[in-house]
Amino acid sequence: MISLPPTILLVSSKQDPAGTRIHSAILESDSSSLFSHLIISKRLVEIDDSFENWVKEGITCVIFLSRHAGKGAVPTLTVHATGNYASAELGGTPKTLSRTDPHLMHAIFTELLVRVPEGYTVSYEVTHHGPTSVVLPSFFVEIGSTEKEWHDTHAACAVAESVIEVIKQREHLHEKRTSIPLIGFGGSHYAPRQTEIARISRGACGHIMPTHQIEHLTHEIFTQMIEMSQAEGVYIDKKSFKSKDISRIAQLAALHDLPLVSQAELVNLQNASFSVYREALSLVPKLFLNIDVTAHPHHIEEITNPVPLTISHDLVFEAQKMNQNSHGTLLDAICRMPCIHFSGNGALVLNSFIVDQTHIAKRTDELIQACVSIICTTHHCTYQDNVLIIHKKRFNPKKAQELGICSGPAYGKLMSGQSVFQDGCEIRPDMVMDTEEYAIVVSSDTPVEKYII
């Protein structure tokens, strides 16, 4: 096995008991040579060195090992990028963000989840302090939140082991780049939604702006967040903001041609290519004019060349009105297909989808067949050429009243298909029903018979 030179610089401060313990655990391990090491006398937030000289040594990233002081006194292990959205009360330069590495940060966060000592939590923190002078990507890994935790050897070893394990796999990590670099907005100091996303998906936030800092969001700050995080998407904790703030963030994202991504999308992406997903989302404005839609990806690792697919609006509208039946719901069927479906405008399923170009004919048939099957299971249907004719029975209260049936439980029985008796006479459901016919053009050139199971 070839021994590669260190590419990660670990920095700790003599003034910091937590950072010192983490660093000592790494220095005492067999993996010490995986890193370059720097121990300084001043506080880490006071660093004004650019670390440019380390570039000549092959260093590509700086990890600051540190303590975290929190008001809640909750034992916690955290990771976060550095910078200031406004003033610089805790080091660095005002309105300046540092370069960071979301991939590496996410990888260490994931390892911390595996090794976290009992009684501790693991979370991201929002961007909130310096240094800001480092030219290399950097971030903090911390132990908090009180002196008791800063001196906890078990916590220090958990952090040390997590950092070591990730760097052992660093070539694989950078080759695969499986995480999805994002910038995040909303929430409190410990970024609960962004932390949850990192825990259950490949979503990896670099810089995160908390709700209380939104007043400092400018185009310049937004641009810094993207560039310093190498972000490919934007996550908004929408419950944390007013609609005007959400619109503002969305507008800034659009200016940078970055998609807004939800937690559900990130979870559903699984191992799919995010670049392909972004390509797919670029088709949305042409599919839905002046409609705010939400994308729902399904098995899109099977999509490599995304193209739009649209089927009959009336067919989809009618099918999704059906409740659970022997064939399941339309949404159940769609979730089994490699596609992206969209919701919006009050509908759970809109009639345009994104699929792989190679399988557009197959997906078209599957979607139409799913709709036709659900409709035919619920209603009596006939067909002629490419037209599906739905024969709907509707309860007519006037007919019931003419037969002496008063509103109440008897109405419910008749509507559910049960006969009732009035003055000794049987009143069948068909006696109080009207039949309506509703025709839907299923396909422009394919006989409906093809889709009847």
- Tell me the pLDDT band of 20, cut-offs 50, 70 and 90: very high
Mean pLDDT lowest for which of 22-36, 187-201, 277-291, 326-340?
326-340
* Token pair of 311 as six digits: 């089927």
Q: Tell whether 263 and 288 lie within a shared domain.
A: no
166 and 200 share one domain: yes
| Residue 263 sits in the same domain as residue 303 | no
**CA of residue 96 relative to chain centroid, distance:** 27
- Whether 443 maps to a domain, the answer reads no
Residue 394 placed within a domain = no
Last residue of a domain, one of 235, 269, 303: 269
pLDDT at residue 324, as a whole number? 47
Query: What is the full DSSP assignment across 197-232?
Result: HHHHSSEEEEEEE-GGGGGG--HHHHHHHHHHHT-S
Tell me the Cα Rg of the chain: 29
Q: CA 263, CA 200: separation in Å to the nearest integer? A: 9
Q: Give the per-residue pLDDT at 73.
A: 77
**pLDDT for residue 58 is more than 60:** yes
What is the pLDDT, as a whole number, of residue 172?
A: 58
Q: Is the pLDDT of residue 250 over 90?
A: yes
Q: Is residue 433 part of a domain?
A: no
- Give 116's DSSP letter: P
Domain shared by 82 and 204, yes or no:
yes
Confidence (pLDDT) at 325: 46
Residue 36 lies in a domain: yes
Q: What pLDDT is attached to residue 135? A: 96
Domain contains 399: no
The CATH number of residue 102's host domain is 3.40.630.50
Residue 429 in this model has a pLDDT that exceeds 90: no
Spatial separation of the C-alpha atoms in residues 139 and 93, rounded to whole Å: 16
Q: Provide the pLDDT for residue 438.
A: 84
User: What is the average pLDDT value for the chain, to the nearest integer?
Assistant: 91
Domain tally for the chain? Answer: 2
Q: Are 38 and 149 contained in the same domain?
A: yes
Residue 2 has pLDDT above 60, yes or no: no
Residues 286 and 240 reside in one and the same domain: no
Determine the Cα–Cα distance for residues 361 and 12; give it in Å rounded to an integer: 59
Classify residue 404: in a domain, yes or no.
no
pLDDT value of residue 323: 59
For range 392-420, the mean pLDDT? 81
Specify if 390 maps to a domain: no
pLDDT confidence band for 393 (50 / 70 / 90): confident
Cα separation, 19 vs 300, whole angstroms = 42
Instruction: Please check the confidence at residue 137 and state whether its pLDDT lies above 90.
Output: yes
Q: Which residues lie closer than 8 Å to 388 by C-beta, 6 or more apart?
A: 315, 372, 375, 381, 439, 440, 442, 448
In this prediction, residue 395 carries a pLDDT of 81
Please tell me whether residues 313 and 220 are part of one structural domain: no
The tokens for 195 are 């932390």
Return the C-alpha torsion angle 357, 361, 364, 369, nearest 10: -150
The answer to whether residue 369 sits within a structural domain is yes
What is the rounded distance in angstroms from the CA atom of residue 182 to the CA atom of residue 403? 66
Domain extent for 114: 8-269
Residues 152 and 203 in one domain: yes
Confidence of residue 1 (pLDDT cuts 50, 70, 90): very low
Shared domain for 39 and 177, answered yes or no, is yes
The answer on 18 and 110 residing in a single domain is: yes
Q: 306-344 pLDDT, tens per residue?
A: 999 999 999 999 998 875 444 468 999 999 999 999 999
Last residue of a domain, one of 325, 350, 378: 378
Q: Are residues 327 and 354 in the same domain?
A: yes
Question: In percent, how much of the chain has pLDDT > 70?
Answer: 96
Taking phi first (over 0 means left), then psi (-120 to 50 degrees means alpha), and beta for anything else, what does residue 347 get?
beta
Mean pLDDT of 137-142: 98
Q: Which of 312, 347, 378 is the last residue of a domain?
A: 378
User: Is 316 found in the same domain as 193?
Assistant: no
pLDDT at 51 over 50: yes
pLDDT at residue 102 is higher than 90: yes
pLDDT tens digits for range 153-172: 999 999 999 999 999 886 55
